[in-house]
């Protein structure tokens, strides 16, 4: 049974590659900007402006099978922060931190529709990457250990892309990172403080070989 499943997968990939030889796969680069947020002890009872900041990203995306399956190299720069010192907070630790961050990742994704034939498509992706914290500051005065300033991360994202012209697609997407290390310097024996950071971006992609794309109805 396992062998039959493996053969089926290999045949599907082979069919995709053969089809791709007659249909130019799309390549594009893009830029985006949006919000970069944090969840952890210093986000408890804090309003949005004290735990959400900015980010910008740049990407290169290459379809590899039938203009539906793609890989993306993605770079992000932004600011992470958390501050609940001005809010009533009887149970969680009070404090603040702020840091710039840079992230590089490689993701594999799936467009639900072929954007060369439709005007829009939802998409999902996941991958691996690494981030680095730059200029870290914490209210408790503690320095961030070097081993916690750089770490691997697993980004998982979902979004939707709209074809604006034959060469330009605009997108909106949300991205949460898993398995990152501690960000806010609140940790220790018996302390449960899972930290996460996430982003919501809008942007545009420019197709490097879109001259053969023609606008068609969505359905």
What is the rounded CA–CA span in Å between residue 28 and residue 42? 38
Mean pLDDT computed over 93-112: 96
CATH number at 26-207: 2.40.160.20
Name the DSSP class of 189.
T
Largest CA distance in the chain: 64
Mean pLDDT computed over 37-46: 91
Mean pLDDT computed over 33-58: 95
Q: Which residues pair with 156 in a beta bridge?
A: 126, 176
Write down the pLDDT at residue 8: 43
**For residue 215, pLDDT beyond 60:** no
What the block records as the tokens of 142 is: 């503690």
Residues in the chain: 219
What is the rounded CA–CA span in Å between residue 155 and residue 159? 13
Q: Residue 17: pLDDT band by 50, 70, 90 thresholds?
A: very low
**For residue 7, pLDDT beyond 70:** no
What the block records as the tokens of 11 is: 């045949």
Question: What is the dihedral angle through the alpha carbons of 205, 211, 212, 213, rounded to the nearest 10 degrees?
Answer: 40
Neighbours of 1 (CB within 10 A): 5
Query: Mean pLDDT score of the chain, rounded to an integer?
Result: 86
Give the phi and the psi of residue 149 in degrees, each rounded to 5. -85, -25
Q: What's the pLDDT tens digit per position in 137-181?
A: 998 777 888 888 999 999 999 999 999 999 999 999 999 999 999
Rg (CA), the chain: 21
């Amino acid at each position: 049974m396992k062998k039959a499943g493996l053969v089926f997968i290999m045949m599907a990939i082979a069919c995709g590659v053969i089809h791709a030889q007659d249909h130019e796969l799309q390549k594009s680069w893009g830029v985006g900007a949006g919000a970069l947020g944090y969840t952890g002890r210093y986000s408890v009872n804090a309003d949005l402006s004290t735990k959400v900041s900015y980010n910008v990203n740049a990407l290169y995306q290459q379809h590899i099978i039938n203009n539906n399956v793609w890989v993306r190299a993605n770079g992000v720069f932004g600011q992470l922060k958390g501050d609940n010192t001005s809010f009533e907070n009887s149970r969680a630790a009070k404090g603040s931190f702020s840091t710039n961050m840079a992230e590089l990742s490689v993701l594999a994704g799936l467009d639900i529709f072929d954007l060369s034939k439709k005007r829009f498509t939802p998409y999902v992706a996941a991958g691996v990457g690494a981030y680095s914290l730059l200029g870290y500051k914490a209210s408790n005065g503690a320095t961030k250990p070097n081993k916690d300033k750089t770490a691997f991360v697993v980004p998982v994202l979902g979004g939707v892309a709209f074809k604006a012209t034959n060469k330009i697609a605009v997108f909106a997407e949300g991205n949460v990172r898993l398995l990152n290390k501690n960000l806010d310097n609140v940790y220790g024996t018996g302390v449960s403080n899972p930290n996460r950071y996430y982003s919501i971006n809008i942007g545009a992609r420019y197709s490097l070989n879109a001259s053969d794309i023609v606008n068609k109805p969505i359905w």
